[in-house]
C-alpha cells in the first residue's frame, strides 16, 4: 500500500483520483472508482439541474459506502448555470470533498469550507496554485501541458510543473496530465506529488459511460493523436484529433472569430457523439496519455494494476539501483 499526505487527509486507500469530466463523471463511473479504493468525482454540471445532481449523488450512495466527491467547474459565461444552487445541493447532500476548477472560485471555496468540506482545486500554473492555497483549499491538482481539456497558456509540461509546484505549495499536490499507469504514479511521487489525477485513462475502462467506439479509439491512438484548439482565442483546449478538431484548427489558422467554430464545438454535439459512437460527430476531450493506453480494463483492474506496478518500481527496480558504499579497509 502507498500512503501519502493525500490519502491520509482525504481518507482514501490509494493516491489515485478520477477527476471531474463533463458527460463522463456520473455514478456509473464514480461508484466503481470509490469501490476500488480511489477517489472519484461526479461532475455537477453534467446533471441538467441541481435537483438531478442530488439524485445522482444518491445513485452513487446506493452502490458504495466509500468516499467520493463532486466537481464544480466555474466558467465565465454570459448565461452561467445557477452555481449557487448547485453548490447548495452539494452541501445539503452531505458531500465531504469537492473538486473546484475554473474562474474565480473564492465564493465557492468559502462556502464549501464553512460547511466543513475539503476542497481540491485544479490549476495549470504554480501562481494559480499559490492563489488557491491562500484561499484555503486543502489540496491542489496541478495540470501539466500533456493534460486533456484546458492546459492553460503557459505550455509547461508536468516534468517541470509538478516539482515547481511542490517547491512552493504546502498543501498536498495531485499530479495531473499524462498519467495512466504505475510508472506515472511512481514518477509523480518522485517529483513531489502526493498522488495522481487521471481523466482520459478512466474513460478507457469498461464502466465509463461512453460508447465503446471511443474506448477503442483511445487504445488505437498514439501520443500524437490530439489537437490544441482555441489557441487563437487564448482558451487552449486539448482534444482528440478527429475531423471536427482538424476543421476547428484550420478555421483558427485563417484568423476567423470564435463564432465561426461555435456550432462545431457545442457541448451537446460532443455528447451526442459519445452516446452514438460517432467519433467524428463533435470534439471530445482526450490527452496525450492515449499513447500509453493499450486495453480497456475494469476500474478495479486498472487501479490495482497501477498501485501494484508503482509499488514494484519503488521497492524493487529503483531500490536495486542503489549501490552500497564500500566500507573503508
Residues 6+ apart with CB under 8 A from 67: 10, 11, 12, 34, 39, 96, 97
Share of the chain above pLDDT 90, in %: 95
Please give the Cα distance from 147 to 124 (Å, whole number).
10
Please give the Cα distance from 44 to 227 (Å, whole number).
26
Q: Which uninterrupted H or E stretch holds 43?
A: strand 39-43
The answer to whether residue 78 scores a pLDDT higher than 90 is no
Q: Is the dihedral of CA 291, 297, 303, 308 positive or negative?
A: negative
The answer to whether residue 169 scores a pLDDT higher than 90 is yes
Model pLDDT for residues 191-242, shown as the tens digit of each residue: 999 999 999 999 999 999 999 999 999 999 999 999 999 999 999 999 999 9
Please give the Cα distance from 131 to 144 (Å, whole number).
17
Alpha carbon of 65 to those of 32, 61, 89, 265, 278: distances in Å?
11, 6, 19, 37, 35
Please give the Cα distance from 3 to 30 (Å, whole number).
22
Q: Output the CA torsion 163→164→167→169 (10° steps).
A: -110
Predicted pLDDT of residue 96: 98
Model pLDDT for residues 28-63, shown as the tens digit of each residue: 999 999 999 999 999 999 999 999 999 999 999 999
Average pLDDT over residues 98-125: 96
What is the second-level CATH architecture of the domain 5-209+296-320? Alpha-Beta Barrel (3.20)
Q: Which three cell numbers stand for residue 213?
A: 467506439
**Could you tell me the pTM of the whole model?**
0.96
Please give the Cα distance from 328 to 66 (Å, whole number).
54
Model pLDDT for residues 13-27, shown as the tens digit of each residue: 999 999 999 999 999
Scored b (16 or more CB within 10 A) or e, 44-81 reads: bbbbeebeebbebbeebbeebebbbbbbbbbeeeeeeb
Contact 19, 197 (CB under 8 A): yes
- Given the C-alpha cell 452561467, which residue does it identify? 80
Predicted pLDDT of residue 329: 66
Every domain range in the chain assigned CATH 3.20.20.70: 5-209+296-320
Q: Which three cell numbers stand for residue 322?
A: 542503489
Please give the Cα distance from 264 to 110 (Å, whole number).
36
The answer to whether residue 327 scores a pLDDT higher than 90 is no
Which of 100-104, 141-145, 188-192, 226-230 shows the lowest mean pLDDT across its residues? 100-104
Average pLDDT over residues 268-284: 96
Amino acid at each position: 500500500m502507498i500512503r501519502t499526505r493525500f490519502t491520509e487527509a482525504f481518507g482514501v486507500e490509494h493516491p489515485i483520483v478520477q477527476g471531474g469530466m463533463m458527460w463522463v463523471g456520473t455514478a456509473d463511473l464514480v461508484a466503481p472508482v470509490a469501490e476500488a479504493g480511489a477517489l472519484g468525482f461526479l461532475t455537477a454540471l453534467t446533471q441538467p439541474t441541481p435537483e438531478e445532481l442530488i439524485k445522482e449523488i444518491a445513485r452513487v450512495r446506493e452502490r458504495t459506502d466509500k468516499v467520493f466527491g463532486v466537481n464544480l467547474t466555474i466558467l465565465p459565461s454570459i448565461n452561467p448555470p445557477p452555481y449557487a444552487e448547485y453548490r447548495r445541493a452539494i452541501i445539503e447532500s452531505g458531500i465531504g470533498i469537492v473538486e473546484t476548477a475554473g474562474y474565480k472560485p473564492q465564493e465557492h471555496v468559502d462556502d464549501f469550507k464553512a460547511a466543513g468540506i475539503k476542497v481540491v482545486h485544479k490549476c495549470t500554473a504554480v501562481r494559480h496554485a499559490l492563489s488557491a492555497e491562500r484561499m484555503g483549499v486543502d489540496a491542489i491538482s496541478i495540470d501539466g501541458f500533456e493534460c486533456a481539456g484546458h492546459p492553460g497558456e503557459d505550455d509547461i509540461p508536468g516534468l517541470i510543473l509538478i516539482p515547481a509546484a511542490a517547491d512552493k505549495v504546502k498543501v498536498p499536490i495531485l499530479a495531473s496530465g499524462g498519467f495512466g499507469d504505475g510508472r506515472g504514479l511512481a514518477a509523480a511521487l518522485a517529483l513531489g506529488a502526493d498522488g495522481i489525477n487521471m481523466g482520459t485513462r478512466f474513460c478507457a475502462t469498461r464502466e465509463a459511460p461512453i460508447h465503446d467506439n471511443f474506448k477503442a479509439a483511445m487504445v488505437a491512438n498514439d501520443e500524437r493523436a490530439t489537437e490544441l484548439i482555441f489557441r487563437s482565442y487564448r482558451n487552449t483546449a486539448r482534444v482528440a484529433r478527429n475531423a471536427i478538431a482538424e476543421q476547428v484548427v484550420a478555421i483558427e489558422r485563417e484568423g476567423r472569430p470564435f463564432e465561426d467554430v461555435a456550432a462545431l464545438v457545442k457541448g451537446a454535439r460532443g455528447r451526442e457523439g459519445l452516446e452514438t459512437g460517432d467519433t467524428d460527430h463533435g470534439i471530445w476531450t482526450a490527452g496525450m496519455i492515449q499513447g500509453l493506453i493499450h486495453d480497456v480494463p475494469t476500474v478495479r483492474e486498472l487501479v490495482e494494476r497501477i498501485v501494484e506496478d508503482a509499488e514494484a518500481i519503488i521497492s524493487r527496480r529503483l531500490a536495486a539501483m542503489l549501490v552500497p558504499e564500500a566500507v573503508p579497509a
